[in-house]
Structure formats: structure tokens, C-alpha cells
Amino acid sequence: MRTRTLGRTGLAVSEITFGGIPILQQDFADAERVLRTALDEGITSFDTARGYGDSEEKMGRVLADRDCLIMSKAHRTDGAGMLGELEKSLASLRRDCVDVYAMHQVASADQLGQCLGPGGALEALLKAKRDGKVRAIGITGHHRPTLVSAVEQAGDAIESVMFLFNPLETDALDRLVPMCVDRGVGLIAMKAAGAGIWTPKEVLASTKWCLSHPITCANIGFSTVEEVQAVSPLGREDLSPTTEDERIVQSLRDQYELTYCRRCGECAPCPKGVNIWGTLVGESMVKRLGWKQLGERNYLDNVRKARDCDECGLCIERCPWSLNIPALLPEALDRIERLA
Ligand code: SF4
Ligand code: SF4
């Protein structure tokens, strides 16, 4: 499989990166089969996180002695907490060093300030890098302005950004992508294949579309051997879009443009306490993470707050895509409840 260089780090990343969320719902034997198939297909980069259940441990069992690139991340803004999580990652992954370790899901200016401030997560990761426990430092998140600020404020310290990117989430092309390309920051596209709700043909067209841009890799969550075998060839094939690819990308846009939540969080807070994006993308979250990881009853109770929506319209004004959120919430809740 072709590789691309992760910005100025010099690290080689396979164009298709194995996203480690779906394996958390599998037993160890099934997860091992999927991971081994990825290796057989030439995938050499793997992404996981402290927050993905036992995904790190499963990867550790299969990949510990393999020459591949591992990325992980932890949702901590404080330095001591981040170092504690890093040690757990190293133990689970059975490695002395993680290639890329990221500040996970940094969602606001406040959180970013904590990460970059004295005693924050970034300071701790820089120390871990000096100690040889991390090769490169990254950040991940759904809120594009926060990611842009992070790259602007952190100087050379942040070396990769994991961001939402697919034919429906193209806003990063305005600022984030060119800025990272200019500064030599690696770009890892998450939800490149639409987070588990698109058809196999849509997954392929979307992934190909992502890779036709100046990003480092497309991060795809795989749950079956067949999915790995279907998508991996893209990392070897010509990426020029065919007429059929263009038709599928356009059809995705026509179908989802006015209903697809980009998880940016701009609509929050809701005066009625509705967890807006957690409900709108709930179907995908349940399918990818599973009920156990989401906290089962608590998650259901949380998304059922959507019934308290009084259609005040505040969230529509805030949503950059003007989604008709009050109309979408009941349908989204129905889809979640059908999976319960
Ligand atoms: S329309 Fe509903 S979901 Fe949106 S802000 Fe108002 S109460 Fe909250
Ligand atoms: S509903 Fe709109 S504003 Fe809210 S998270 Fe989704 S895309 Fe962003």
C-alpha cells in the first residue's frame, strides 16, 4: 500500500489507516482476524484511543511485534492526567513508544487553553517526547475553529491533526487543510467513510474523494474482514475519480446535505438540555461504539431529553449548516430506540 509522510515528522503512514473503534465490540478472536487481514492488505498504520474500550489491548496483542505505526490518544487536558493515560496506553499496546499520541476531542477554546497552558497536556506530551515515549504529538477534535487555533498557538509542538473530512464535511478545506499543509502538520481524516451508515459503494467513493486531497491518510473504522478487503485496494489503485465516483459523491450530498450533523457543537447549549449532536448522530454511535461503551441506560435517558425540545429555534440559528434540528431530533431518536 502507498504511504504518505505525516507532515514534518517524516513518519510514513499508509493511505488507509485502520480506525480502532469498531473492534471494541468484537471478541479478541474476531478483532485479531480483522487486524491480521489489515496487515495482509498492507495497512501499516493503526489508530486507537484510551476511550475506545479494549481497542488498545486488542491492537497490542496483534501488533506488538509488528513494524507498524500506532496512533493513540487520551481525553485529558491536564498534564498529570495525560501522562497517566499515556502509561496505560503503552502497557495496553505493549510498546515503549507510541508513534503519535494526541489530545483527544479538544472541543472548545477553554479546553484548548487548559491543554496548552502551564501544567497542561501539551507540556506533558513534550516531556514524554523528550523521554522517548512518544514520537509525535497530535490533536483531534470535531470543532474546526479550535483545531485551527491549536495549530496557530502551539507553534511546532503539534505535528498532526485528526479532523472530520468527507464529501459532506469539506469546510476544513477553507483554512485548516491549507494551513497544516503550509506548516508541515500531518492531516488524518476521520469519518472519511461516513461513520458506519453509508453503503459499501458510498464508503469507497467517499474514501477515494478524501485521498484525492492533500491529506496524509483516511482513517477508516473496520469491523469485518470483508470491509478491510473492500477498502484497502484504494491504497494501491489510481485515485482519479471516475464518473461513477462523482455520481455517488453528488448523490451523498443530495441525500444528506440538509440532514447530516457535522458534530461541530456550535448549536450548544440547548436551553432545554437536549444533547443535540449526541442524538443526531446517535445511530452511528450506537452502531460503532455499542451500548455498553455508551453507558446503556444513561445514554438512552440522555438522548430522550430530545423530547423536551420546545422548537425554540435557537439551535437552527447557531448551526452553520442551518439544519432543521427540531425536525430531525424525533427521527434520530426513533432510529436510536429501534436499536435498543
Ligand atoms: S429548538 Fe429544541 S433543541 Fe434546539 S435549542 Fe430549542 S429546545 Fe433546544
Ligand atoms: S446540529 Fe449543526 S451545529 Fe449542531 S453539531 Fe450538528 S452540524 Fe454542528
Tell me how long the chain is: 340
Measured in Å, residue 34 CA sits from the centre of ligand 1 at 41
Cα 25 from Cα 46, distance rounded (Å): 17
State the average pLDDT over residues 232-247.
93
pLDDT in tens, 143-199: 999 999 999 999 899 999 999 999 999 999 999 999 999 999 999 999 998 766 788
Measured in Å, residue 195 CA sits from the centre of ligand 1 at 25
Q: Where are the domains of the chain?
A: 3-239, 276-339
Sign, CA dihedral 36-50-303-328, equals: negative
As assigned by CATH, the class of the 3-239 domain is alpha beta
Cα 73 from Cα 33, distance rounded (Å): 24
Ligand 1 pocket mutation, candidates 274, 277, 318, criterion most atoms within 8 A of CB: 274
pLDDT in tens, 305-338: 999 999 999 999 999 999 999 999 999 999 999 9
Task: Give CB contacts under 8 A, 24+ apart, made by 324-327.
Answer: 324/258, 325/267, 325/276, 325/280
Tell me which residue has cell 486488542.
58
295 vs 245, residue with greater confidence: 245
Q: State residue 340's pLDDT score.
A: 84
- The ligand that comes nearest to the alpha carbon of residue 315 is 1
Cα 49 from Cα 56, distance rounded (Å): 7
Atom of ligand 2 nearest to the CA of 268: 4
Q: Is the CB of 325 inside a 6 Å radius of any atom of ligand 1?
A: yes
Overall pTM surpassing 0.85 (yes/no) = yes
Strands 217-221 and 16-19: parallel
Ligand 1 pocket mutation, candidates 261, 267, 270, 324, criterion most atoms within 8 A of CB: 270
Q: State residue 52's pLDDT score.
A: 92
Q: Exposed/middle/buried for 238, CB within 10 Å: 0-12, 13-18, 19+? A: exposed
Q: Which residues pair with 279 in a beta bridge?
A: none
Atom of ligand 1 nearest to the CA of 267: 5
Q: Is the CB of 109 inside a 6 Å radius of any atom of ligand 1?
A: no
Give Cα separations from 145 to 20, 109, 149, 152, 175 (angstroms): 26, 9, 6, 11, 9
Q: Which residues pair with 69 in a beta bridge?
A: 45
Share of the chain above pLDDT 70, in %: 99
Residue of minimum CA distance from atom 4 in ligand 1? 315
Tell me which residue has cell 469491523.
223
Q: Is the CB of 19 inside a 6 Å radius of any atom of ligand 1?
A: no
Is 287 a residue whose pLDDT tops 90? no
The beta-strand segments (E) located in the chain are 3-5, 12-14, 16-19, 45-47, 69-74, 98-103, 134-140, 160-164, 186-190, 217-221
State the average pLDDT over residues 54-63.
97
Side-chain half-sphere of 338: how many Cα atoms within 13 Å? Answer: 9
Q: Decide if 222 contacts 45 (C-beta within 8 A).
A: no
Displacement of CA 251 from its chain's centroid (Å) = 23
Give ligand 2 pocket residues (Cβ under 6 A). Answer: 261-267, 276-277, 280, 318-319, 321, 323, 325
Residue of minimum CA distance from atom 8 in ligand 2? 264
Measured in Å, residue 268 CA sits from the centre of ligand 1 at 9
Share of the chain above pLDDT 90, in %: 86
State the average pLDDT over residues 74-81.
98
Cα 53 from Cα 69, distance rounded (Å): 20
Give Cα separations from 101 to 11, 73, 112, 126, 200 (angstroms): 13, 5, 16, 10, 30
Residue of minimum CA distance from atom 4 in ligand 2? 267
Q: Decide if 102 contacts 139 (C-beta within 8 A).
A: yes
